[in-house]
Amino acid sequence: MIIRPESPNDYPAIRDLLLAAFASHAYSHQTENLIVEALRAADAPTVGLVAEVDGSVVGHVAFSPT
């Protein structure tokens, strides 16, 4: 597993990962990916990392003060 900074090339995989991760969560409105995208558009995240296995994004974490 490689932990590295996210890049714009990762955004589609991150979106798909978030959709899959929250697909059956009882308290999700399936907007987690939209929240991450809005934070990026506002240049809010101070850290955005992905976990990668064999070239595929398998995890994501982002931190922002907002």
Cβ neighbors of 55 (< 8 A, separation 6 or more) are none
**Structure confidence at residue 66 as a pLDDT band (50, 70, 90):** confident
Residue 54 amino acid letter: D
Residue 58 half-sphere exposure toward CB, CA atoms < 13 A: 9
Q: Model confidence over 10-29: pLDDT tens digits?
A: 999 999 999 999 999 889 99
- How far apart CA 15 and CA 3 sit, in angstroms, is 18
Number of separate domains in the chain: 1
Give pTM, 2 decimals: 0.89
Cβ neighbors of 2 (< 8 A, separation 6 or more) are 51, 52, 53
Residue 41's domain is classified under what CATH number?
3.40.630.30
Q: Model confidence over 30-47: pLDDT tens digits?
A: 899 999 999 999 999 999
- Judge contact between 32 and 18, C-beta under 8 A: yes
Q: Which residues constitute the domain of residue 33?
A: 2-63
